[in-house]
Chain A
Amino acid sequence: MTKNRLRRFKDQFASRVTRALTVFAAALILLIGLALLIRAQPLLDITPLGKLLTSSDWHPLRGEFGFLPFILGTLWVTTLAMVLAVPPCLLCAIYLAEYAPRRLRDTIKPLIDLLAGIPSVVYGLWGTLMVVPVIRGTITPWVGKHLGFTSLLATDNPSGYGVLAGGVVLAVMVFPVIISVTEEVIRAVPDGLREAALALGATRWQMVKGVVLRRSLPGVIAAVVLGFSRAFGETMAVMMVVGNIPQIPRSVFDAAYPLPALIANNYGEMMSIPLYDAALLTAALVLLLLVLAFTFAARIVLLQAVRRVA
């Protein structure tokens, strides 16, 4: 084969191979969903999805699989994490984007990235060694004494392992995501707008509040949704501090049992109890679908934001 023919052949070959691999990579999400669906089928054939999602009866040995406590548990922990994380993250991001001198920002950002690199188990370890004892030893007694009148803060569970611990650990875990996306979105606001506001005599803060934040609101919302999505699927760290009791939490001090923790804790018994594997894989499927929904939501919000700026 002449050199030229060989070159053309290699080029065509590379084109075909890379296309095949790309199609495969693009189809992965469907493959994963399908695989989970197929294995969840035995359970879904017996109990409709609606009943599974709204029932609280979790008795695997009797074949009853109500996911509600786990779904609510996940929501409690994730929502608390967002409530705890969003205000400081927004403030920190605004500070980095608008106020911090360049060198300070260049020093701080890598440190925040470092936070993102710390593995889940290490967060969980920190949770058991620092967060849970503080909750158990200091916060629970204090709240019990002074604020125990609201059921939200009822301190029936003194162990420290519960929604609050999970929320705190999860909040720190999503710090990097929310901060970096928000900071980027804020930096993307054109300088012309900033100048216009400042030229009218606004203080830096007024300019940020009135102009920059208003403009970057969709992006900020997307960042929060993204953070929520990450927190939702987080497994190890939360599992180590949240108590893992299959109940619907009534107070932030109650223990909970989020969906990912359910799957992770019980995979060992999966094959020994009938339908247990289908149940756990249904849980995984539900998790996947929810995370997909959030990702799409964030994307749509971001698309709207881009359209407005353009």
Chain B
Amino acid sequence: MSKHLEERIFVGLMIASTIVVLGSLVLILATVVMKGLPALNLKMLTQVPKGGYYLGKEGGILNAITGSLALAGGATILSYVFSLAVVLYLHFFAQDSRFVYLVRLSLDVLWGVPSIVYGAFGFTLLLLLGLRASMLGGIVALALLELPILVRAMDEVISMVPLELKEASYALGATRLETALRTVVRQTVPGLLTASLLAFGRGIGDAASVLFTAGYTDRMPTSLLRPVASLPLAVFFQLGTPVPEVQERAYASALVLTIIILIISLIARLLTRRLTRHVIH
């Protein structure tokens, strides 16, 4: 076969593959929008399920929307604190390079753990502590899920800071902590923020980890020790009913969830572009 013909065939296949990949994105988004938009109305966004909601009567998914935001928000904050501590330790305080390697390895492994395992682990923790499924349980399970993601992203961001910057700070007599917080973190704020948004987006869309640990409720989130609703589970449960109106609400819920995630991705992207302008070198 002529070498040019072979090339043409493969390039054709490549372009076809790319179209398939992008096409699936389009199909998924189109499905969600087309099915979800008709069922989306103000009531859905501003009310909680009232009596008979799952049989087709009045109500909305405000409980799930606020619940998801609370869960993912709490989890991201909790996870952020841990991640920052880990990354600062690895880059400023650690002495033993073997330990550093082990830490990175173990977090790498954690990154691949499926969310259902975190849910199962969270469940065993709740049993151990004698607690029921609650917002706290959901936050802990999600925080575990987000931790390796955050650490990896933050690690990358801080690794990009040039050594000369740290040296300039140390040369003025700063301690490790002062250099870390006043100089390096200051330089990397956009990157750290983007990392948080990434983790938040991952957390808010996850169902398997909150299934066991956060429970579900038709009420608005009030207490850390009570079960809380979440959008992914709202989609799942509403889809599972035989009532067509409720199934349509599932589509609307999926649309709301997808829109939230798209907005977060957009904000993350814009932030990176804007804030990197003022950073040194």
- A binding-site residues for B, Cβ under 8 Å: 7-8, 10-11, 14-15, 17-19, 21-22, 24-29, 32, 35-36, 38-39, 87-89, 91-92, 94-96, 99, 108, 110-115, 117-126, 128-130, 172, 175, 179, 202-206, 226, 229-230, 232-236, 240, 260, 263-264, 267, 280-281, 284, 287-288, 291-292, 294-296, 299
Contacts and interface: CB of A to CB of B under 8 A. Distances in A.
Given A119-B257, A126-B28, A175-B21, A235 B151 contact: no
B47 interface: no
Given A35-B121, A36-B121, A125-B31, A118 B258 contact: yes
Interface string B256-267: 011001100100
Contact of A32 (B11, B117, B250): B117
Nearest to B208: A235
Contact of B14 (A36, A99, A115, A287): A99
A121 B178 contact: no
Nearest to A235: B208
A296 to B, nearest CB: 8
B80 interface: no
A25 B82 contact: yes
B207 A120 contact: yes
Given A119-B232, A205-B11, A172 B208 contact: no
Nearest to A20: B85
Given A28-B106, A264-B211, A125 B254 contact: yes
Contacts of B31: 125-126, 129-130
30 contacts: A8-B175, A15-B93, A19-B89, A22-B89, A25-B107, A28-B110, A29-B110, A32-B121, A35-B124, A92-B21, A99-B14, A114-B262, A115-B21, A115-B25, A117-B201, A117-B265, A119-B232, A120-B206, A125-B239, A129-B31, A175-B21, A203-B4, A205-B10, A233-B115, A263-B116, A264-B211, A267-B212, A287-B117, A288-B113, A299-B108
Interface residues of B, number: 84
Interface of chain A, main secondary structure: helix
Contact of A294 (B112, B202, B211, B262): B112
Contact of A26 (B102, B175, B269): B102
Contacts of B93: 14-15, 18-19
B120 interface: yes
Nearest to B110: A29
Contacts of A226: 112
B205 A119 contact: yes
Given A121-B254, A264-B208, A291-B114, A18 B22 contact: no
Given A11-B176, A99-B11, A203-B4, A111 B22 contact: yes
Contact of B235 (A25, A108, A121, A232): A121
Interface of chain B, main secondary structure: helix
A108 B27 CA distance: 16
Contacts of A121: 205, 207, 232, 235-236, 254, 257
A120 B4 CA distance: 42
Contacts of B195: none
B274 to A, nearest CB: 16
Interface of B: 3-4, 6-7, 10-11, 13-18, 20-22, 24-25, 27-28, 31-32, 35, 82, 85-86, 88-90, 93-94, 102-103, 105-121, 123-125, 127-128, 144, 147, 151, 175-178, 180, 201-202, 204-208, 211-212, 232, 235-236, 239, 250-251, 254, 257-258, 261-262, 265, 269
Contact of A123 (B7, B28, B103): B28
Contacts of A291: 112-114, 117
A130 B23 CA distance: 13
Best-surrounded residue of B13, B207, B269 (most CB of chain A within 10 A)? B207
Nearest first, the 10 closest Cβ-Cβ pairs linking A and B are A233-B114, A119-B205, A205-B7, A18-B89, A95-B14, A88-B17, A91-B17, A284-B120, A11-B175, A21-B85
Nearest to A233: B114
A232 B4 CA distance: 40
A118 B261 contact: yes
Contact of A240 (B151, B177, B239): B239
A188 to B, nearest CB: 16
B32 A126 contact: yes
B54 to A, nearest CB: 17
Contacts of B18: 91-92, 95-96, 108
Nearest to B8: A205
A296 B116 CA distance: 20
B205 A229 contact: no
A292 B109 contact: yes
A211 to B, nearest CB: 14
Nearest to B3: A203
A234 B114 contact: yes
A292 B111 CA distance: 10
B6 to A, nearest CB: 6
Contact of A236 (B144, B208, B258): B208
A295 B107 CA distance: 11
B215 to A, nearest CB: 11
A232 B114 contact: yes
Contacts of B108: 295, 299
B261 A117 contact: yes
Given A25-B147, A91-B17, A114-B265, A230 B112 contact: yes
